[in-house]
Amino acid sequence: MSASSIRPEYEAVGEDVLSASTMIAARLHAVGSPMQLDELPLPAPRPLDVLVRVRACGVVPNLSNVLAHASHILPELCQPKLPAIYGLDAVGEIAAIGEQVHGIEVGTRVYVNPGRSCGSCAQCRRGNTNACQDYALQGYFACRPEARQTLDDYPYGGLGQYLTAPVSAMVPIPDNVTFDQAARFGYLGTMYSALLKANAGPGTTILVNGISGTLGIGGALLGLAMGVDRIYGTGRDRALLERVKGIAQDRIEVFSLADGSIARWVRRRVDEGVDAHIDCMGPGADPVTFADAMRALRRGGISVNIGAIGNAVPIDLHSMMDNGITLHGSGWFTTDEAVRMAALAATGALDMSIFKTQGYPLSKVNEAISGTAKRDGGFSNFVVRPDQI
């Protein structure tokens, strides 16, 4: 690491970092092949970047599909150039800072928001960074080929011992949240952003379609933390649904998709319908289920899709117009939203104790990725710890 890239007052901090010249990272060399451990030069932070020592990296269930199939199934996705370091949800501590970084110190425990934008387009100037044409998720992919440069600028994912990222992406972790728990901030943040778009809070009711899954369970936890009056949740696994209901028996009701219409079930409980519908159903889900859930909305209700359902959904636009229904697509969250969500965790309003972590050393990264197929619904928290080889 070049000494010129680090503020002088921090040159004596973290001597093990500053004296090191290499790191170990898991890299994908060919689509469909296992990752392998490589020794690489230690990256140096640019003036407005920080160097993060990664202590944990969340393994998202979709990572196995991205690594094995995405370039064939979704050719429009822009993925990191191979060999590539993946890893979406990196957590650790700041090991070094760029020479123009202020307001954050070496040693600070952080979650690294992987969302990257150009910073100069009209959307970025308005603060709507997620709508940037060059938007990409560091360590994962981008949805447009225009984001190639963004991925090239930040080639280090969380499945390595160190990464560089903009200081603007740092989310300080509360003292009462562990590294393993903070590795779940990606899925939780996605749900939090959706709930904000849906105006969820005291005096409102929400329907979470797919509440027992890795993404959906955040609807239960954050809905409670944000003061939502009542949370209605659907899913397929009855045992998992009952466990979700057990989080707050008096405020959560659950329904199996095998038992009929979601809209009928909701309206038997709330005549006018719910205020918001958050849909977490994944690409392979039945699109009819999405449309059925939308019919559970009251007049003026809001529907937010965060599950990336893959097939065309049969939506009654005439009914949407008559009833003033709003439909949002929401793919990620801003750093500010993540900071506000972390504040909920700091107060204890967001209870992360339900997650059961399955931790793996970096050398077992392939086992961790394949292991998500056998997860215990949204209760499982798969984490790779790069500081353990």
pLDDT of residue 16: 55
Does any domain span residue 336? no
Q: How far is CA 341 from CA 66, 174, 216, in A?
A: 27, 11, 16
pLDDT of residue 2: 38
Q: How far is CA 346 from CA 176, 202, 215, 236, in A?
A: 6, 20, 21, 32
Which structural domain, as residue segments, surrounds residue 298? 189-329
In terms of domains, do 203 and 249 share one? yes
In terms of domains, do 7 and 148 share one? yes
Does any domain span residue 344? no
Residue given tokens 């990409």 in the structure block: 136
In terms of domains, do 127 and 197 share one? no
Does any domain span residue 111? yes
**Which residues of the chain register pLDDT less than 50?**
1-15
Rounded CA separation 241/256 (Å): 8
In terms of domains, do 67 and 166 share one? yes
pLDDT of residue 72: 55
Does any domain span residue 273? yes
What's 108's domain CATH number?
A: 3.90.180.10
pLDDT of residue 353: 96
In terms of domains, do 49 and 176 share one? yes
Burial 217-238 (b: 16+ CB within 10 A, else e): bbbbbbbbbbebebbbbbbebe
In terms of domains, do 115 and 162 share one? yes
For residue 83, say if its preceding peptide bond is cis, omega within 30 degrees of 0.
yes
pLDDT of residue 64: 86
Does any domain span residue 340? no
In terms of domains, do 29 and 77 share one? yes
Alpha carbon 116 to chain centroid distance?
14
Q: Are 79 and 149 in contact (CB under 8 A)?
A: no
pLDDT of residue 9: 34
Does any domain span residue 346? no
Of the candidates 329, 346, 370, which is a domain's last residue? 329
In terms of domains, do 159 and 273 share one? no
Does any domain span residue 349? no
**Quick one: DSSP state of residue 236?**
S
Q: How many residues does the chain have?
A: 389
What's 307's domain CATH number?
A: 3.40.50.720
pLDDT of residue 19: 65
In terms of domains, do 129 and 168 share one? yes
- Whole-prediction pTM: 0.93
Does any domain span residue 350? no
Q: Are 233 and 262 in contact (CB under 8 A)?
A: no
In terms of domains, do 31 and 129 share one? yes
Rounded CA separation 172/73 (Å): 36
User: What is the end-to-end Cα distance of the chain in Å, rounded?
Assistant: 22
**Ramachandran sector of residue 53 (left: φ over 0; alpha: ψ -120 to 50; beta: rest):** beta
pLDDT of residue 70: 57
Rounded to the nearest 10 degrees, the angle between the axes of helix 217-225 and helix 335-347 is 70
Number of domains in the chain: 2
What are 111's strand-pairing partners? 91, 171
Give the chain's count of helices (H) and strands (E).
14, 17
In terms of domains, do 93 and 18 share one? yes
In terms of domains, do 194 and 56 share one? no
